[in-house]
Amino acid sequence: TIILGIETSCDETAASVVKNGREIMSNVVASQIESHKRFGGVVPEIASRHHVEQITLVLEKAITEAGVTWKDIDAIAVTEGPGLVGALLVGVNAAKALAFAKKKPLVGVHHIAGHIYANRLAHEFEFPMLALIVSGGHTELVLMKEHGDYELIGETRDDAAGEAYDKVARMLKLPYPGGPQIDRLAAEGEESINFPRAWLEADSYDFSFSGLKSAVINKIHNAKQRELTLNAEDIAASFQASVVEVLTEKTYRAAKEYNVNQVIVAGGVAANTGLRKSLEKRFSDEDFPLYIPPIQLCTDNAAMIAAAGTILFEKGHRSTLDLNANPSLLLD
C-alpha cells in the first residue's frame, strides 16, 4: 500500500509518501516558524495563508522525491482535526481536490493518531501498548489494544506540556517555539529551585501544568521586583525536572497497572532531551520495551499522517468528498 499523507493542522505544511505504513519514501515539511516568531506564537490567519502558498509545492516535492507517479498511490490521507480550523481546511481541501481529480480514496486522520503512528515508522507495534502523548495541545496517556483503538486513561486538566514549555519560555523572553530553547538551557542549569509536582489523586493518570507554570512565573516576577538576578538556566532546569518527573512516573505506573507489552512516546515534547533520558532510565529494567521516535518524527509531519492513514485504509475506512475540518475532533 502506498499512501500520500497531508498535514496542515498548525504551522507546518507537510506532505509525505509512505509505503505499507512503515517505510518513508518522502517526507517534506515546510515550517512557518520564522513568520510566527516575531509574534511569539502561531497566528492562525498567517498560518492559513502560508499553507495556501506552500501546499502545491510541498505536494509536488513529496511525490517527486518519493519517485512515484499518481498511478502508484493507493489513497490520500489527510489530517481532519484537531487543530486550527483555517489551517486544517487548506489540507482537507487539497486532499479532496486531489482525491476527486485523480480518482483516489480519501481517508481523514486524527492528528494525535498521527503522532502515535510516527512510532510505527521506526518499529513495529506490540499490543497492548501504552502511548504517552506530549505535544503543543495534548498531554494524554492512551491505551491501545489493537490498531486504531484508543482508550484515554489520563489527560491534562489544564495546560498541555508543550504549552507550558512555550509559556515559560515566553516569560524568559526566549524565541518561539520555546520548548527546544528551554531544553537547551536546562542542560546548562541546575535544579536549584523546588517547583511543585502535580500528582493529583493517588490513582489518577491525569496531568496538570498550570500550577507549575504559575509557580515559575511568580518566581520570575518576585526576582524582578527585588532586583535579584535569576539564572534562566536554573529556572529552565528546575521547571523541566518537575514536568519530566510527573510524566515519567505516571507513564511508568500506568504501564505496570495495564501490564502492557510496549510503551511509546509521541508528540513534539517527545523531542525533549530531559524527558527522553528520564523515561529511558525509568524503563531500563523493564521487560516491556520503551520506544521514542527519532526527533524529526516527533514534531508535526505528514509521514505520521500517512502511517496512521494506512491502518484506516487497510481496515476499509473511507471519507467522502464532504469531509470537513473538525478543530475539536476526538481521538476515541
For the annotated binding site, the residues are: 111, 115, 133-137, 166, 179, 183, 272, 300
CA nearest neighbour of 149 among 166, 168, 130, 174: 130
CA nearest neighbour of 155 among 117, 208, 96: 208
The answer to whether the beta carbons of residues 27 and 302 sit under 8 Å apart is: yes
CA nearest neighbour of 168 among 199, 206, 214: 214
Kind of pairing, strands 2-7 and 139-144? unpaired
Instruction: Give the annotated binding-site residues for Fe cation.
Output: 111, 115, 300
* Residue 250 contact partner, candidates Fe ion, ligand ATP, Mg ion, none, CB within 5 to 8 A by sort of partner: none
The answer to whether the beta carbons of residues 38 and 51 sit under 8 Å apart is: no
Stretch of 49-57, 143-151, 267-275, 315-323 contacting ligand ATP, by CB under 6 A: 267-275
Minimum Å gap between C-beta 219 and Fe ion is: 29
Residue 7 lies near Mg ion (rule: CB under 5 A): no
* Residue 282 contact partner, candidates ligand ATP, Mg ion, Fe ion, none, CB within 5 to 8 A by sort of partner: none
Residue 166 lies near Mg ion (rule: CB under 5 A): no
Minimum Å gap between C-beta 2 and ligand ATP is: 25
Q: Which of residues 54-83 bind ligand ATP (CB under 6 A)?
A: 83
Residues 10-39, mask of contacts with Mg ion (x by CB under 5 A): xx----------------------------
Find the angle CA(184)-CA(136)-CA(111) to the nearest 5 degrees.
Answer: 130
Nearer to ligand ATP, 1 or 210 (CB): 210
Q: Where are the beta strands (DSSP E) in 59-191?
A: 75-81, 106-110, 129-134, 139-144, 151-155
Q: What b/e sequence results for 203-229 when a residue is b if at least 16 CB atoms lie within 10 Å of its CB, and e otherwise? A: eebbbbbeebbebbeebbeeeeeeeee
- The binder of ligand ATP chosen from 108, 154, 177, 309 (CB under 6 A): 177
Minimum Å gap between C-beta 304 and ligand ATP is: 10
The answer to whether the beta carbons of residues 8 and 300 sit under 8 Å apart is: no
Q: Which of residues 299-328 bind ligand ATP (CB under 6 A)?
A: 299-300
- The residues near 287 (Cβ < 8 Å, ≥ 6 apart) are none
Please give the residue ranges that form the binding site for Mg ion (CB under 5 A). Answer: 10-11, 300
Return residues touching ligand ATP (CB under 6 A): 9-10, 83, 111, 115, 135-138, 162, 165-166, 177-180, 183, 267-269, 271-272, 299-300
